Structure 1
């Protein structure tokens, strides 16, 4: 095998990903407050998608803001 041939990506490799910088300080606080306000009208998954965040980070930010998380389940069924 010569040095100029490209190597295939490793099995299971997802390729190059760009990661967002860590949220710190005032920017993190601002996002926590915004997520807490928006959580009343939506789900964690909806918030995560809207703000381009992972589910886990969105949930963590809500917990840091002392938001009482709803239990799992179908909210629409509860409203009927």
Structure 2
């Protein structure tokens, strides 16, 4: 296992963050919810916060955020 300055340990090329608990978890969830409600996508938040898609989605749901639909092309009748 190797580490780089200012980052979490790297194992096999993947970066792992320590588990979020307590106040840090609530603060991160609030920040994610704020950014998502301002228009950020889950994938954009994944890149910005360096977390997995599943973790970002779970934290948004814990904050009571109503997730947007997948988007894409809308057809008209």
Normalised TM-score (structure 2): 0.72
Q: What's the counterpart of residue 53 of structure 1? A: 51
Q: Where does structure 1 differ by over 2 angstroms across 4 or more consecutive aligned residues?
A: 14-19
Q: What's the counterpart of residue 27 of structure 1? A: 24
1:37 counterpart = 2:61: no
Considering fraction of residues, name the structure with more strand: 2
Could you tell me how far 1:19 is from its partner in structure 2? 2.3
Unaligned runs of 5+ in 1: 1-13
User: How far does the alpha carbon of each residue in 1:9-44 deviate from its partner, in whole angstroms, 9 at most, with x for none?
Assistant: xxxxx8364522100000000000000000021110
RMSD over aligned Cα atoms: 1.9
Relative contact order, higher structure (CA 8 A, sep 6+): 1
Equivalenced residues, count: 63
Unaligned runs of 5+ in 2: 1-10
| SS of the residue 2:18 aligns to | coil
Normalised TM-score (structure 1): 0.69
